[in-house]
Structure 1
Amino acid sequence: MASKKYVSFLSLLLLLSAASQAQLGSGSYDYQDSSVVPSKRLPQHTEFMANNYPYPAKPRNQWEIGLQAGAFSISGDVRNRFPGLGAALHVRKALGYVFSLRGQLGFGTTKGLNFQPSTHWTRNSAWNTAGYAPGAQVFYNYKTNIYDLSLQGVVTLSNIRFHKSKSSFNVYAFAGLGGMIYDVKIDALNGNAPYDFSNIIAQYGGSQFQYKDRKKIRKDLKDLLDGSYETTGQTDNGQPKVFDKPFRFMGNFGAGVQFKLNKKFSLAIEDKVTITKTDLLDGQQWQENGVDISVPSYTTAPAQTRDFDTYNFLSVGINMAIGNKSVEPLWWLNPLDYAYSEVNKPRHMKLPKPVLDDADGDGITDQFDQEPNTPAGAPVDSHGVSRDTDGDGVPDYKDKELVTPTQCQPVDADGVGKCPPPACCDSLMNTIGRMTNCGIGDLPSVTFKPRSVTLSNDAKALLASAAQKIKDNPNCKIAVIGYCSSSKSEQQLSWDRVNAVISYMVDKEGINQDRFIFKYGETGGDCNTVDLRDGTGEEGPTTVPAPHPNLRRGR
């Protein structure tokens, strides 16, 4: 029978655990939400939000109220007949994630009945006034009502979890102190006369009562007793009273399991043991010396028991969380949630600002700076190279004549050109004649891979060499010529290659674009070759729109 009770109890626990798992949520409250932070902790919250303090403020959490009901029993000198009924009402508040305080008001009622008779009832004032004959045997019994009030400290550790956000149940333990009042009644009279127990005593062995007969004896006693409990039980002399009932200080302890149903409600199974400083919860403080359960002796003198009575309350309760602008009671929250959320996905973490080296302070990091020693304040392009707006070979930060016309170049060390003074036509023609034959000599041809418009490393090396000659002969104009135009794609490919060469000379070598003549789609040359030649005296545009831009190839 006992095994069935244990199986039923375990089945109930598993069912509650499964139901609560279905309600289990993930995550926790928003640590940046100031509405759940009490005013006295707002300074800490402000420091936390400003990244000046690493710990979030403890939030305002809800109160819990609960109602419990279950089996109530007394452990004393008289056997508990069967578990009575108990109930309790409590209010609980978390002081932290582990510790909380609980105030509890409880009530319990139960009955007791011995299946063995006793003869030394004369020392008990309640039985002594009932009018039994000297030497008569009686069966001790009682009905007790108990009211108690206690303050308990509750400890729970099951909410601190390292491998999941939070749990659907809590295992907790508690201990507390308080006070109790009790009211004990004895069924000593059948109406106004003492009971006659002689038939029961004779039936079950006279001077010996066997333990195996206890159920039959109790049944016969139940049929005999009228259940009126008319006699007030014995109390200690001088014992204080509250509401005209004996009062005693007491302590209690116990443990329980709480199952979360949703954010508001939870279910708890709990067992509480209360230790009192009285031996009269069952109305009896005397026992027979040498009494054996199966073979009692009625000839020895009675002795006062040295232990105090205790009572037990095994209950099932329903709890509700209450409170506005508050998080759940803290014993349902995992205090590691914030740390784990920041490690996994930083939302509030203060990250250091990346610092990249820039030795010359021109705004271009050393990793991409092609001229790492630019003087302070010198304007540079996106590659960190000093700008030369007019392409006269003198960087802008040294150039005293920022825009020097091409005809006024070459320039001196300060970037100032020498323009020819107005003169007669002969002088102008002579000048034109000199410009027609600039003496730059042969310039290289650049070869591209078929269908490609990208300059190879060899081509860039040729252009770098040619660029130096072009810079050394500032009076020369350079014609850049691409070939083939039998189709639109060939025309566009020729244009792209000429544009690639001129762009490289302007962007990379710093030569003014006005010095180039843009020619593409010419005949008489290799389609994969772009020629550079002296174009002084020729006429032609420096830039030309793409003929078929929709056919352009990426560089």
Structure 2
Amino acid sequence: MNYSTLKKTVALSVASVLAVGMVKAQTSTTTTSTTDSTMKTSETTNAKVFGGRGQYKTFSIGINGGVTAPVNATGGSNDYTNWKASYGYGASLRWQLAHSFGIQGDFNGGRLKGNNQDAVGGFRDDRRSFQTDFYSGTISGVVNVATIDYLRRKNAINFFVKAGAGLVWYNPTYVTANGNSYAFQNSDGSNHYVKSLVIPVGVGVKFRLSDAWALNLGYTENFTDDDWLDALQRGYPTKDKYSYGYAGLEWTIGSKSKPNLDWVNPVAMMYDELYDAALRQEVEALKGRVTNVENAVNDLKKDSDGDGVSDQFDKCPNTPAGTVVDGAGCPLKKDTVQVGGAATPAAYTNIQFDFDSSVLRTSSYPTLDAVSSDLRANTSKVVTLKGYASSEGTAAHNMRLSKDRANSVKTYLVNSGVEARRLKVKAYGETHPIADNSTEEGRVQNRRVEFQQ
């Protein structure tokens, strides 16, 4: 068999593999049933996205047999004019690390043959023919190509490429031009097996027979690190090579309850996890919890009497509109005076603030308006605005907060017509409390601005 015949054989083999694959793919669709208006398949599993390799079967063993040749389909030099197909066999152990990648150990054996039949006289370089028996052990990385399928839940076919390194042991014999047969001798005169580095590079296709069994068809080119594989160093410094085309069965080891990682389709897994009934129940429960939180927040913000204190903390509910209240929502009766028979907010009473806030309450506006009116009527009067805070938080934070509160009062009065130069701002932070900071009632009273005339 010559080189052109080899290329025709390989091309025909590839075409046959693709044809078988197309038929297999068309007949491997799964039956589905409808549950909760969601298309579910009979092949769904308990495996979860990002669940780790522990939920899959990952170890496989295989056996194979096929045809060897002392040439490669990709070309290269050959020490003999003709080659003969011979036999090869092998076994493999693979660990699948991901759905698209695994590590595989291979043991192979076989025989290689070639001759100089087309040479003048039937020989060349004093060689008529050779025959070499070999064994090899290699470790390779195996990459599954195009493993994600958007048309079917599981692939029926996996294409793969692999490459690795290892050792080959071989024992060549040859026939000279005069017809004598010899065994190749090492440099020390021995006839023991020769050892050499070998680099296997291969392609193949795998057909899923079941979740545990697969049929493999492949072709591997092997590149050695010496030129004695055919008992002739004719093209130095070229290296010898050989190929192995094979068919084999592979069995994935593990519990039937676990899926085979080699056939996992991530798209199908994500679909199943998205429409998992338990997950949907958890989502609905989460929506309910969010609604409860939103309702609780709305209850905290509710202020039925509009006095600026939420119902949650209002100890004097239903106060009349416009009533000046303290931080607990109770009227500040001492801060009113009688004007024309009606209760009117008195000037220069303390201005209260909410927790960690320097924003003026609307309930403080009547008191501030009274202060503004008095200052505009008495243009020589100067007032110091003294800001305070309760004891929550750090001292530095409370000092800044008390200053912001005093400035809020100043800004209001300036905007109402009081000259800024007549308003002095001082911050005291959490010092000089007027009530006990260990109780909420006391802390409410301490969040204030005082007027000093």
When normalised by structure 2's length, the TM-score is: 0.53
- Work out whether residues 70 and 83 of structure 2, in 8 Å CA contact, stay in contact via their aligned partners in 1: no
Give 1:90 deviation, angstroms: 0.7
* Residue equivalent to 1:315: 246
> CA offsets, 1:186-231, max 9 Å, x none?
1238xxxx34xxxxxxxxxxxxxxxxxxxxxxxxxxxxxxxxx831
1:64 partnered with 2:87? no
Corresponding residue SS for 1:336: helix
Which amino acid is 2:212 matched to?
K
Give 1:162 deviation, angstroms: 4.0
Alignment of 1:234-383 (within 5 A): 235=186, 237=187, 244-286=192-234, 304-324=235-255, 327-345=258-276, 347-348=278-279, 350-351=282-283, 352-354=286-288, 355=291
Alignment of 1:421-440 (within 5 A): none
Give 1:238 deviation, angstroms: 6.0
Which amino acid is 2:105 matched to?
G
96, 116, 133: which one aligns with 1:145: 133
Give 1:108 deviation, angstroms: 1.9
Corresponding residue SS for 2:136: strand
1:184 partnered with 2:172? yes
Aligned equivalents of 2:123, 2:218: Cα separation in 1: 39
Give 1:263 deviation, angstroms: 1.8
Aligned equivalents of 1:269, 1:68: Cα separation in 2: 9
Give 1:163 deviation, angstroms: 4.6
Aligned equivalents of 2:163, 2:136: Cα separation in 1: 14
Alignment of 1:413-452 (within 5 A): none
Corresponding residue SS for 2:279: coil
Alignment of 1:4-153 (within 5 A): 6=11, 10-19=15-24, 21-23=26-28, 25=30, 27-31=43-47, 55-58=50-53, 59-75=55-71, 76-114=78-116, 115-117=118-120, 138-153=126-141
The share of aligned pairs that are identical, in percent, is 21
Give 1:257 deviation, angstroms: 0.6
Give 1:262 deviation, angstroms: 1.4
Corresponding residue SS for 2:98: coil
By percentage of residues, which structure has more strand? 2
- Work out whether residues 74 and 80 of structure 1, in 8 Å CA contact, stay in contact via their aligned partners in 2: no
- Work out whether residues 24 and 156 of structure 2, in 8 Å CA contact, stay in contact via their aligned partners in 1: no
- For these two proteins, the number of residue pairs brought into alignment is 272
Q: 1:174 to 1:22 in 2, by over 3 A?
A: same
Give 1:180 deviation, angstroms: 0.7
Aligned equivalents of 2:152, 2:168: Cα separation in 1: 42
Corresponding residue SS for 1:348: helix
Alignment of 1:394-543 (within 5 A): none
Q: 1:176 to 1:3 in 2, by over 3 A?
A: closer
120, 144, 152: which one aligns with 1:156: 144
Q: 1:238 to 1:170 in 2, by over 3 A?
A: farther
Aligned equivalents of 1:320, 1:269: Cα separation in 2: 14
Structure 1 segments unaligned to the other structure (5+ residues): 33-53, 122-136, 196-228, 287-303, 367-374, 377-555
> CA offsets, 1:143-188, max 9 Å, x none?
1111101111101132223453221010111111110101111123
Larger Rg: 1
Give 1:264 deviation, angstroms: 2.3
The alignment's C-alpha RMSD in Å is 3.5
Aligned equivalents of 1:246, 1:345: Cα separation in 2: 59
> CA offsets, 1:62-94, max 9 Å, x none?
421111111101133113432111111111120
When normalised by structure 1's length, the TM-score is: 0.44
Q: 1:183 to 1:118 in 2, by over 3 A?
A: farther
1:172 partnered with 2:120? no
Which amino acid is 1:305 matched to?
Y
Moved over 6 A (4+): 1-5, 118-121, 359-362
